[in-house]
Structure 1
């Protein structure tokens, strides 16, 4: 993780930032799937819990080779009017590190009940007793709207940042550039 490139979303009067971020992140996901990449991580320099937002910048972290391979895919095609991106640059010397990971929540008791009914052959009443309304969780994390490449289902990808660390931790990243173990430089 000694190199990075930064992508900045530009304001657009026709599209909200959240829509553009979803489109950008979806394109990144498809490119990482195509490359079968597990060596590129992401960070969100403008991440905020209050107000809850990812901001308008996305950083990609990896080796110079991994980032060059990604950018050779021309995965930003169609986004030219909406983004500006930097060269592939070395990470500054004095940085901290943190994990950036997906966090999943049980946000719909009714959806959980339907799933339970299907998997266990239960009636709606049995599922209601097993999964009360209080099982729902209300997340307070920034997110991006996504569509799964494998199931074509729409979902909300909640992003959680780990604590700052002085030392990096190696590991693999998923096809969203996220990891619960591997860190990315934070600056």
Structure 2
């Protein structure tokens, strides 16, 4: 079943409040809403995209932009999600459009997934085991070599279980083919999946 309907959320520019602060509040509520959709209704087919997403491969600039598109397999799924209810405390900061059909708007498809920064200690442990050397020597080797920590745009969040802060770094890439499947409770792909959403 294809993603046939969508809703668009726009962050209202405010000179006194940084968009990343609003992204944090918005995505916290959205994450809770998707977890409830899965637990109460068994729905895992809600996916998102960032229409204004930008990432410069040279690492000079990156941004999420000010828009979030939320896709579903039916109007009913988006009505069940009820974004207006979940985002009612943010009405001064975000504008939620009514549910629309995707129709023929899509110019292609994108895959959205999480980028996890590499942990130097874990890299060193793996390198030490691979080379049969002491961990100290492996740490020195790994510290000398540039880490593959790319500056993808991110959203600052807090764990709902232990309140620890973490960054949800976002990779959004064009896809060759449309692929259907389920999404996680951020509305993006699990590590090994390449489920797509429409893009325009």
Q: TM-score range by the shorter chain?
A: 0.7 to 0.9
Please name the residue that 2:65 is paired with. Answer: 55
Contact 2:175 2:196 in 1 (8 A): no
- Determine whether 1:66 maps to 2:68: no
Q: Given the two structures, how large is their TM-score scaled by the length of structure 2? A: 0.78
Match of residue 46, structure 1, among 52, 77, 87: 52
Please name the residue that 1:5 is paired with. Answer: 7
How far off is 1:61 after superposition?
0.4
- Determine whether 1:159 maps to 2:170: yes
Match of residue 175, structure 1, among 147, 162, 185: 185
**Pairwise CA RMSD of aligned residues?**
2.2
Q: CA–CA distance in 1 between the matches of 2:174 and 2:83?
A: 33
Change (3 A) 1:54 1:128: farther
Match of residue 117, structure 2, among 86, 90, 105: 105
Flag structure 2 segments of 5+ consecutive residues without an equivalent. Answer: 126-133
Q: Deviations over 1:68-96 (max 9, x none)?
A: 11116711021010011111100031521
1:13-162 counterparts in 2 under 5 A?
A: 13-36=15-38, 37-50=43-56, 51-62=61-72, 63-71=74-82, 74-95=85-106, 96-106=108-118, 109=120, 112=121, 127-131=135-139, 132-133=142-143, 134=145, 136-162=147-173
Change (3 A) 1:94 1:10: closer
Q: What is the count of residue pairs matched by the alignment? A: 173
Q: CA–CA distance in 2 between the matches of 1:72 and 1:57?
A: 14
Please name the residue that 1:123 is paired with. Answer: none
Q: Given the two structures, how large is their TM-score scaled by the length of structure 1? A: 0.83
Please name the residue that 1:186 is paired with. Answer: 199
Change (3 A) 1:162 1:13: closer
Change (3 A) 1:16 1:73: closer
Q: CA–CA distance in 2 between the matches of 1:57 and 1:128?
A: 46
